[in-house]
Structure 1
Amino acid sequence: MELQDLLLFIDQYGYFALFFSLWLGIIGMPLPDEMIVMSGGFLSSLDTMSVWKSFLITYLGVVSGLSLGYVLGRQFGQRVLDKLMKKKKAKYLLQSKDLLDKYGRFALVFSYFIPIVRHILPYLVGMNHMSFKTYAIFSYTTGFVWTLIYFILGHLFGSQIEYISLLATKYGIYLGIVIVIISLLYYFYIRKLKKIVKIGNIPISKIFEVWWG
C-alpha cells in the first residue's frame, strides 16, 4: 500500500480506517506507523476530519495494537516468538531482548521510537509477566507523547510525510533519547521550582506573573 492509497482509505472510511490501520500494525501493516499517524494529522489539517477526534482515535489505535501484543505474549508465550522467528524478524527480536535486558521497563519508552521493535517488545514483557499496570504506565504514557509528536508533524508538514517517515525509520531512536532527556530535565526543573516556592512561601502564580510580565 502506498501513501496515496492510505490517504484515500482513511478519507473514505474515516476514523474506523485510522484506528484499524494502526491496530493492524501489531501483525505487520505494510506501512510504518509513523506514516499512518502523520496521515491522520494531515487529513485533520484539511478539515476532512476533526483534529481532536482524529488524535484520540489515532492514540487508541496505537496503544490498543501494542496492548494486543502484550496480551498475546502473556497468553501464548513461546509460540508467539516462534511465529516471529518464522517471519524473519530474528534480528529485531534480539534487539528487543537486548533493550529489555539493559533498560528493563524503561525499554518500553525507547522501543516506541524503533520501528518493528516497538511491536515485538510488548510480546516479550507479556511473556515475562510484567504486570499490566506497569506496562500501561510506561507504554500508554510514551504512546501519548509519540502519537502527539507525529500527529503534529503530519498536521503541519503533510506534504513531507514520506520524507519524515523515512527519517523516523532511520533515526527514530535518537529522537526518543532527546525526548527522554528533555522530559527528565523538565521533571527535575519543576520539582526544583516547587521546592523553591515551598521554602520561600511564594505563591507560584506570582512567579508566573514575573516570568510573563
Structure 2
Amino acid sequence: MSEIIISFIEFLKQFSYFGILLSLCFEFVPAEVVLPLAGFWVYQGDFNYYLVVLAGTVGGTIGPLTLYALGRYGGRPMVLKYGKYFLVSQKQIDASDKFFDKYGSGVAFFARFMPVVRTAISLPCGMAKMNVWKFSIYTFMAMLPITAFYVYLGYKLGPHYKEAEEIFNSYALPLALIIIAGIITVFTYKYVNKRKKSQSI
C-alpha cells in the first residue's frame, strides 16, 4: 500500500510545491510518508526547504478538515461507516474519542504529536462541533513544527528518509511540550507586563 502512495506522491511532484500541498489534502495519504519524501527532494536539490514546509503546513491544515466535516455533519454512525476509506481504524476513532473527552478542544493541537490519534482526532473535534476556525488555527500551529521537523529529517537522512517516522515518534512528545512551554511563557510574560502597566497608571 505504501508503494502505491509513494507512486501517487511522485506523480504529484510534477506540480511542484502545489503538488506537495495537494498530496496532504488527501487524508488517506499520510503526512509521515509525504514529508520525509519531500525532505529527500530538498536533499536532491529539487526543492527549497522553507517553501516545502509552507506548502506542507497549508496542505496539512486543509486535509484534516475533511475528517472534521465527516464528524460534524455525519456524526458517529457515518464516521464508523466511512472512516476506513480515510485509513482510520475503529481503534484510532475510540482512542481519539477518549483523548478528546479527557483534554477538550486543545487536542486539535496536542494530539497531532501522538502516533495513534494524530489522524483520527479531527473526527471527535467535528462531532463536538468545535469552531472550525479554532480547529484550523490549532491544526496549523501543530502542523508547522511537525512539517518542519519531518522535512528536516528527510533532508538529513537523504536516501534513508523512510526512517524518519520512527525518529519523529521518539521526539514528538518532547517537541510538543517545548512548544506548549514556549506559548505559556510568552502569554505569561505579556500578562505580567500588562499587569505592571495597569498598576503604574
Q: Aligned-pair distance for 1:123? A: 1.8
AA matched with 1:83: Y
- Map of 1:38 onto structure 2: 36
Distance 1:13 1:88, change over 3 A: closer
2:22 and 2:59 in contact (8 A); partners too: yes
In structure 2, stretches of 5+ residues that fail to align are 197-201
Quick one: distance in 1 between partners of 2:46 and 2:89?
Answer: 37
1:183 is aligned to 2:179: yes
AA matched with 2:97: K
Quick one: distance in 2 between partners of 1:184 and 1:4?
Answer: 33
Residues 1-47 of structure 1 deviation map (CA, whole Å, 9 limit, x = unaligned):
438746743544433432232222x2x23xx4222112212212332
AA matched with 2:31: D
1:149 is aligned to 2:141: no
Q: Aligned-pair distance for 1:104? A: 0.9
1:64 is aligned to 2:66: no
Count of residues paired in the alignment? 192
Q: Aligned-pair distance for 1:48? A: 0.9
Distance 1:142 1:8, change over 3 A: closer
1:34 and 1:150 in contact (8 A); partners too: yes
- Map of 1:52 onto structure 2: 50
Q: Aligned-pair distance for 1:192? A: 6.5
In structure 1, stretches of 5+ residues that fail to align are 200-213
2:100 and 2:107 in contact (8 A); partners too: yes
Q: Aligned-pair distance for 1:68? A: 1.9
Distance 1:55 1:85, change over 3 A: closer
2:33 and 2:162 in contact (8 A); partners too: yes
AA matched with 1:182: I
1:91 is aligned to 2:125: no
Q: Aligned-pair distance for 1:126? A: 0.9
Quick one: distance in 1 between partners of 2:187 and 2:110?
Answer: 24
- TM-score scaled by length of structure 2: 0.77
- TM-score scaled by length of structure 1: 0.74
AA matched with 1:186: G
- Report the identity percentage: 23
Quick one: distance in 2 between partners of 1:88 and 1:11?
Answer: 25
1:113 and 1:175 in contact (8 A); partners too: no
AA matched with 1:23: C
Q: Aligned-pair distance for 1:102? A: 1.2
- Map of 2:132 onto structure 1: 132
2:95 and 2:116 in contact (8 A); partners too: no
AA matched with 1:163: E
- Map of 1:211 onto structure 2: none
Moved more, 51-60 or 111-120: 111-120
Distance 1:4 1:106, change over 3 A: closer
2:88 and 2:119 in contact (8 A); partners too: no
Quick one: distance in 2 between partners of 1:143 and 1:20?
Answer: 15
Give runs of ≥4 in structure 1 deviating > 6 Å. Answer: 85-88
Q: CA RMSD in A?
A: 3.1
Rg larger in 1 or in 2?
1
SS in 2 for 1:129: coil
SS in 1 for 2:173: helix
Distance 1:155 1:66, change over 3 A: same
AA matched with 1:113: F
Quick one: distance in 1 between partners of 2:188 and 2:71?
Answer: 40
